[in-house]
Amino acid sequence: MTKEEYINNYLKSSIKQFQYYYSLAERSMAQLSDQEWYFKPEPDSNSIAILVKHISGNMLSRWTDFLTTDGEKEWRNREREFEEDDLNNIKHQWDEGWNCLFDSLKNLQLDDFDRLVYIRNMGHTITEAINRQLCHYAYHVGQIVYLCKQIKKQEWQVLSIPKGNSEAYNQKKFNIQKHRGHFLDEL
């Protein structure tokens, strides 16, 4: 495999991973009423609204001018991300953050992978920066999914293989010929 093929595969896989976590959060939050976005299990916890606002602020900071400016922008007010806000504004920021992320990733060129980008003056290869953010967003999306499950209780609509269906799911998978693919192609 050439360097170009490797990078193209990595980038496609990374984009699919981000799309997966976006989908998990979207399918979870779609199950909520507007009021449920603000539920906190305890006073010092973050609500889903706050988590969404934080992820969005992080995305806009990290992915705006990704290759040319530090990922921690001077205009970002991280502390403000942890204050309640209007839900329509939060949803708009969510869309804006994800669009910024996907636009940045889709515009990367092979030569960009030879560069360093900075987050708080710490140099990262493009791969390291992508991995750092993928892990950060997966962490918070996991929190969102967990909170949604706690809120919805018995009304929760499962996002993966329902309990008791693993054997049937695996049987279906092993009845298919071995093939090259990405596990997220089926979503």
pLDDT at 183: 78
Per residue in 98-135, pLDDT tens? 999 999 999 999 999 999 999 999 999 999 999 999 99
User: 3-157 sits in which CATH class?
Assistant: mainly alpha
Question: What's the pLDDT score for residue 187?
Answer: 65
pLDDT at 184: 76
pLDDT of residue 127: 97
Give the per-residue pLDDT at 95.
98
What are the tokens at 11?
């980038």
What per-residue confidence (pLDDT) applies to 169?
87
Q: Are 125 and 19 in contact (CB under 8 A)?
A: no
If one counts every other C-beta atom within 10 angstroms of the C-beta of residue 93, the result is 20
Note the residue count of the chain.
187
pLDDT of the residue at 98: 98
Q: What is the pLDDT of residue 179?
A: 86
Report the run of H or E that residue 27 belongs to, with start and end. Answer: helix 3-29
Burial class (CB in 10 A: 0-12, 13-18, 19+), 119: middle
Per-domain residue ranges of the chain: 3-157
For the chain, residues with pLDDT lower than 70 are 187
Assess contact for 144 and 30: CB atoms under 8 A.
Answer: no
